[in-house]
Structure 1
Amino acid sequence: MTDPIANPLLQPWTGPLGAPLFAQVRDEDFLPALTTAIGWHEAEIAAIAGQEAPATFDNSIAALERSGEALARVRRLFWTLSSAQGTPGIRTIEAEISARLSAHSVAISHNDALVARIFAVHAARRESGLIPEQIRLVESSHAGFLRGGAALAPADKERFAAIDARLSALSVQFGQNVLAATAAWVLDLGPEDLTGLPPAMCEAAAGRAAAKGQAGRYHVTLDRTDFEGFLTFSQRRDLRETLWRAFTDRCDGGTYDNWPIIAETLALRRERAVLLGYVDHAHYALEDSMAHDPEAATDLMRQLWEPGKRRAAEEAAELQALIDAESGGFALAPWDWRFYAEQVRRARYALDGAAVAAHLRLDAVRQAAFDTAARLYGLSFTRRADIAGYHPDVWAWEVTDRDGGAVGLLYTDYLARPDKHGGAWMGSLRVQEAMDGDVRPVVYLVANFAAAPPPDRGATRLSIDEARTLFHEFGHALHGLLSRVTYPSQSGTAVARDFVEFPSKFMENWIVSREVLAGFGVPDDLIVAIRQAEAYGQGFATVELIGCSLVDLAVHQQTAAETDPRAFVAAELDRLGMPPEVGMRHHFPYFTHIFDGGYSAAYYSYAWSEALDADAFEAFIETGDIFDPQLAARFRDEILSAGDSRDPMESFRAFLGRAPDAQALMRARHLVGA
């Protein structure tokens, strides 16, 4: 029998800067490594729980923080590859990995001896001489155990464990269905079908077809990059409709039907919440958020909803007038909106989206993000070609401070591949912490931009919205890289869900600034057009986002034992008065944020965080310098570095000296007076 310690996945990472050795990673090593790492962690938990000494912060809470190091490495490495480089071997074991991790987590929460120690430390936290960040860690640990079912009766614990295991399996299946449905469809075009498409998009489509042995053809996929670009520029209305229907119909019936998964997921979430003493899943999910309850979140969304609808109606009327002026003879439909909105931007603001993209090479936008972080926070990013990623498109960057001190390691993975989940995200392979020395973070960024043909992948052209996405995810990376906390559970992005999007939304402001756009060689008249056009289309963007948020909140507040989710969503959209020519940004059958991610009942977080971001950026504007060094230093120290070592409202107050101004979001979205 092979010695488990020989398994490379169980070894500390010995690459430069503590990088994982991806070349040694084999799919078949994951399950044995997980088995061994869970066993090691179980032994550590048993040792903590079985101590005879009275429970203290150090021998219980801090000991828990130190435990499970090997398991954390295996777990993070697996989910990194599962989301961004999912081989058939990885896909085959996803469900089992998820189930084992879920069962292990529940077993820890239900360990009575351990729970007694955690609760004892919690009861004495105010009289134990603990500093504020330690008290917060005790309180969050205590809450985590309660939310994990620690206080339930034995029979209820058993049911809780069964629910948790089933939800884990359903989440994996949901995500795999979306991935499979997306990969299974392609819009196969000939040269005659390309009218209106930018050259860069045609090149990418030709490259995909050629890779499948169909030279001379052009393949448009269901990746959002292709979807947005094609609906914006294609002059073929019939093909726009074909693509829109294929995109929005994914997993809505057929082989990859996700509606049964959604129905069961909602029912189980509801049952788990009630088991834990909550009225519904939304109240359970939002208890530790900034909003604290769904009523507060809904209130903010409704402040945006009606003004957004009124502005969207104005925009729709304008687009319909444009269609009528061209004798189109049809009513504005969802597959028309982006195309005619682009015509308005060209006519009113002289903004040509394709002309903008011509300046936004991927390598230049990536460098602009680095340069922005250098001016704001004194960071330097150096390519490390000697550090291999998990794919040739993945590049490693050493991150240092202005004094040359080590900050961390960043991987960037920006190009679309069939084995990647859709969308864009940031993740951590190792989090910053300082319990027993200075542990530097290893973080990664993933996107799905349509790649230019090799060899010059850096020539991939981005739309302004894609460039904004790159800056958004880079904001998450800075949150992870600049963390300066003691305990790993409080590190970087481990904050309230409706606060975690704050640093990322905040970072988006710089990509549309004159200072950054000029660096791409964008002509001044085009910069003016981009800036002016920022106000246009906010009705559409607001309705698309807030509609998702309101329906997500509503469906997770249902208390009926059984709900037909398809009928519920349709009825809720009707009740809200959702403009049919806009619709939700994410239809439920592929809404991975809430069914295969951490945003259930919390998709509102994007708008909530945007309110914080709008207020914070106004402070920079008021100084006359969006790179103001004093404000940037405060943002780094009070927001990016603090992690979850204190309440997020305390962090915001420490940054600006006051509570957030909710009206800043109305101003940022140009909805004042709508």
Structure 2
Amino acid sequence: MTTLFRNAFPNFMIDTNITPPVYKPGSCPLFSIPATALGVRPGIVNMKFPQVPASFSTSPAGLLDETARLIEEARSLYAQLVDRISPENATFANTILPLSQSENRLLAARKLFGFYNSTSTSSELREASGRASVLFDAFDSETWMRDDLFRLVSNVVCNQEKENLSAEDAYYLRHKHQNFLRNGLGIAETKQRARFTQVQTLLREKALEAQQCINKSHGLWLSAEELNGFPRSALSTLKKGEAENEGKLWFPLTRAQIARALQFIEKESTRRKIYIANDNRCLENVPRLKEIILLRDESARLLGFPSFMDLSILDKMARSADLIHNYILELRRKLRTAGQRELKGLLELKTNDRSNDPNISSEIDPKLYLWDYNFYKTILTKTRRNFDEELFSEYFPLEQTLAGIMEIYSSLFGLDFVEIPAESYSLLGKDHIMVWHADVSVYSVWNDETQGGDFLGYLYLDLFPRENKYNHAGHYGLVPIDQVSSNTTRFDLLFHEFGHAVHNLVSRVKYAIFHGTSTARDFVEIPSIMLENWWWEPSLIKNLGNHYSYLSDEYLNFWKNSNDANTEQPHRTIDSTLIHNLIQTRHTDGVIGVLKQCHIAEFDIAIHSQKTHHDVELLNLSSKWNQLQKEVTLLSGPEADGEGWDWGHGSARFGLLVRGYEAGYYSYPLGKAYAQDLFKTRFEHDPMSRKTALEFRRVVLEPGGSRNGAELLKEFLERDVSITARFQELGLTTDKHV
């Protein structure tokens, strides 16, 4: 990658093309392109690739045709199974294994096909990708509602003691049986079953529509004056207006751009305009999200559960919904005093700032608004903590930082990352499309020599924003591709996303459904959150940080053009004082940031755990979101100016509520607690301990979702996981376990 300082707004996507979970030597031809042409590290020239890199050459029609073919192939197999095998003769070998092999094939295709919906520049391919996902999901529902298959699986469950199954086989069997029950076959009454099937179909359609709305590009025209304070390097990337918008700039409502705007734009009126525009960019999702919540609640009650939250906990690591809610409430309660203290300090800054503005009356009682927090927090860290975040970021140009992160992961987990040069792509043939966009780079990933030197997979990096690309931090487990998407300027999140990629690359399981990050939702973030800690190690920051202006003449000219003529060029290496000041900001100025996560988690729990279906019908999601936001984060919105609680619709543009984290957003704050327990107990005294990291790889990462997550953490810690470390980190105390 040779992109000029494009880490101003990195929208990055990490993809790992992993070897098939059930791969056996000789089951597919070895890739015959010379290994040196595909990035084999120097000194190792005899390696061969056990799978061809994926080709991103599909068309919308081809994608849908292949989806239909695979579904029909699986449907035919299931028909053969029930015709050939009676329930009393069903065994793990003649029933479950064929089902799992079919599942592996479908999973490989559906994840790759679904990938285009979040990355393709073609609207036709994105639409086809979305339709393919709906078709695969519909076939899932059809399969889970088949009594004939269920009878076969149930008989295997009843007789499993006779089969001497391995622990992973038995776990897979329970997983398969539970899926039949939770997807409708636990409903005895025929009409209710039919309604359940209808509800699932509607849910799939509404969720797809909601996600497509969220992925659409939105923005607004702003004048240069309105954008005062916005970094020059970022300002230069904005599209200039023509005709009626002459003299204005198009401000795209992407996550990274919004974050920088709220952090640096000086005019409160502009920050307010951007914040409110973002919270109102998915108005058509407002009734759609309400319908989704109602359908989820109805499906849970049809299955006999008191709420969707209670249903969702079945496949989670946490033991009960009450324990989850109690943790969030305790965290919020214990942080409230510190949050009020932080709010007071920021309000003092704002008061002084307003008193210097002749256009603002001193009689106005200032409030800290949602669009003020990041702006004054940045001032606080720069003045009182003497930390200049913008200067700090200049020491971490993207390519250099990525190389450093790869080196750290290599050292910890025994891996080698080797870039495949773009000029080698043509060796695969003109019909083989190696990447889905010109910005994408590809790496081959290997165990290093101490771990056997064998091939692990491919790592794809898609690092920059574009229209209609997924506009939020997220991760997609794909077979044979694993995809992680984010929009951020924070490099601790690069450590996080690389953690997801490595989780997939090193995972070794028997069944694809359990591979890598295919774990319980409240487990999947824990390893990656823990790995964020390495960003805060002073020695590692020192090694990674070199000012971009020294990388080349091109970079130096870019720096000169972005600064005043009399500005002195920064030092080549990052100053230790700057690193120290960064470390000081980690926990002293971010309490309200933690409370923001508590707000989303509480909202998610509240809307999915109402006592009756009628209570769900009465919910005003936008008002609930905004009221909880004020109550939990302590920050004001337009309601403080008399505009009511329906001023914005933040829940309607929050993608995680419709695509995987429904009734599960608590996984972030709770995962942070568990992650800090892991780090403090096993890594804090020696973060670069290869021995401990390899044990973490073996015990926690390699099993993927093939074992209960709590068991993996207990084995690594040699005790039950605790939330104590997180409270201690925040300067709080507790003696509770969740």
Question: So what's the TM-score if we normalise by structure 2?
Answer: 0.80
Distance, in Å, in 2 between the alignment partners of 1:568 and 1:214 is 34
Query: Secondary structure of the residue that 2:305 maps to in structure 1?
Result: coil
Query: Secondary structure of the residue that 2:98 maps to in structure 1?
Result: helix
Alignment CA distance shift 1:14-1:94 (3 Å): farther
1:450-487 CA distance string (max 9 Å, x none):
xxxxxxxxxxxx3xxx2122221111111111101112
2:589 is matched with 537
Counterpart of 1:277, as a letter, is G
1:49-88 CA distance string (max 9 Å, x none):
3333611112222221101455334322221111111521
Distance, in Å, in 1 between the alignment partners of 2:583 and 2:243 is 40
**Structure 1 residue 313 and structure 2 residue 340: aligned?**
yes
2:250 is matched with 219
Distance, in Å, in 1 between the alignment partners of 2:372 and 2:121 is 34
Equivalent pair of 2:476/2:482 in contact (CA under 8 Å): yes
**Structure 1 residue 426 and structure 2 residue 475: aligned?**
yes
* Structure 1 alignment gaps of length 5 or more: 1-11, 431-440, 450-461
1:520 is matched with 545
**Structure 1 residue 96 and structure 2 residue 145: aligned?**
no
1:388-410 CA distance string (max 9 Å, x none):
21001111111111122111111
Distance, in Å, in 1 between the alignment partners of 2:698 and 2:379 is 44
1:607 is matched with 669
- After TM superposition, give the deviation of residue 650 of structure 1 in Å: 1.1
Q: Please list, as runs of the form range in 1=range in 2, the aligned pairs for 1:44-443 lying within 5 A after superposition.
A: 44-52=77-85, 54-94=89-129, 96-153=131-188, 154-180=190-216, 183-190=217-224, 192-205=225-238, 208-209=239-240, 218-251=249-282, 253=283, 257-326=284-353, 327=355, 329=362, 330-385=366-421, 386-387=424-425, 388-403=434-449, 404-430=453-479, 442-443=481-482
1:483 to 494, 497, 507: 507
1:546 is matched with 598
CA radius of gyration, larger in = 2
Distance, in Å, in 1 between the alignment partners of 2:443 and 2:475 is 15
- After TM superposition, give the deviation of residue 308 of structure 1 in Å: 2.3
Distance, in Å, in 2 between the alignment partners of 1:100 and 1:297 is 34
1:457 is matched with none
* Structure 2 alignment gaps of length 5 or more: 1-27, 34-48, 357-361, 426-433, 547-573, 639-644
**Structure 1 residue 573 and structure 2 residue 628: aligned?**
yes
Distance, in Å, in 2 between the alignment partners of 1:158 and 1:348 is 63
Distance, in Å, in 2 between the alignment partners of 1:633 and 1:589 is 42
Alignment CA distance shift 1:418-1:209 (3 Å): farther
The answer to which of 565-574 and 159-168 deviates more is 565-574
The answer to which of 385-394 and 214-223 deviates more is 214-223
Counterpart of 2:515, as a letter, is S
Equivalent pair of 1:413/1:447 in contact (CA under 8 Å): no
Equivalent pair of 1:502/1:610 in contact (CA under 8 Å): yes
Distance, in Å, in 2 between the alignment partners of 1:155 and 1:50 is 27
Distance, in Å, in 1 between the alignment partners of 2:491 and 2:629 is 34
- After TM superposition, give the deviation of residue 378 of structure 1 in Å: 1.3
Query: Secondary structure of the residue that 1:423 maps to in structure 2?
Result: coil
- After TM superposition, give the deviation of residue 351 of structure 1 in Å: 0.6
Higher relative contact order (CA 8 A, sep 6+): 2
Q: How many residues align?
A: 626
Distance, in Å, in 2 between the alignment partners of 1:213 and 1:27 is 37
Alignment CA distance shift 1:515-1:48 (3 Å): farther
Equivalent pair of 1:30/1:74 in contact (CA under 8 Å): no
Q: Kindly, what percent of the aligned residue pairs are identical?
A: 25
- After TM superposition, give the deviation of residue 94 of structure 1 in Å: 4.8
Alignment CA distance shift 1:402-1:514 (3 Å): same
Equivalent pair of 1:495/1:643 in contact (CA under 8 Å): yes
Equivalent pair of 1:359/1:520 in contact (CA under 8 Å): yes
Distance, in Å, in 2 between the alignment partners of 1:571 and 1:588 is 9
Counterpart of 1:560, as a letter, is H
1:590 is matched with 653
Query: Secondary structure of the residue that 1:398 maps to in structure 2?
Result: strand
Distance, in Å, in 1 between the alignment partners of 2:622 and 2:268 is 30
1:666 is matched with 727
Alignment CA distance shift 1:152-1:136 (3 Å): same
- After TM superposition, give the deviation of residue 587 of structure 1 in Å: 2.3
Equivalent pair of 1:472/1:507 in contact (CA under 8 Å): yes
Distance, in Å, in 2 between the alignment partners of 1:13 and 1:275 is 48
Equivalent pair of 1:312/1:537 in contact (CA under 8 Å): no
- After TM superposition, give the deviation of residue 216 of structure 1 in Å: 7.7
Equivalent pair of 1:414/1:445 in contact (CA under 8 Å): no
Counterpart of 2:63, as a letter, is F
Equivalent pair of 1:334/1:581 in contact (CA under 8 Å): yes
Question: So what's the TM-score if we normalise by structure 1?
Answer: 0.87
Counterpart of 2:339, as a letter, is A
Aligned Cα RMSD in Å?
2.7
- After TM superposition, give the deviation of residue 671 of structure 1 in Å: 4.2
Distance, in Å, in 2 between the alignment partners of 1:567 and 1:216 is 35
Alignment CA distance shift 1:344-1:586 (3 Å): farther
Equivalent pair of 1:37/1:68 in contact (CA under 8 Å): no
Distance, in Å, in 2 between the alignment partners of 1:95 and 1:428 is 16
Alignment CA distance shift 1:580-1:322 (3 Å): closer
- After TM superposition, give the deviation of residue 446 of structure 1 in Å: 2.6
- After TM superposition, give the deviation of residue 23 of structure 1 in Å: 5.0
Equivalent pair of 2:215/2:471 in contact (CA under 8 Å): yes
1:639 is matched with 700
1:496 is matched with 520
Alignment CA distance shift 1:233-1:670 (3 Å): farther
1:285-310 CA distance string (max 9 Å, x none):
11121113211110111121112222
Equivalent pair of 1:310/1:539 in contact (CA under 8 Å): no
Equivalent pair of 2:518/2:705 in contact (CA under 8 Å): yes
Counterpart of 2:650, as a letter, is H
Distance, in Å, in 2 between the alignment partners of 1:540 and 1:113 is 53
Distance, in Å, in 2 between the alignment partners of 1:70 and 1:127 is 29
Equivalent pair of 1:103/1:161 in contact (CA under 8 Å): no
The answer to which of 145-154 and 645-654 deviates more is 145-154
- After TM superposition, give the deviation of residue 119 of structure 1 in Å: 1.0
Counterpart of 2:703, as a letter, is A
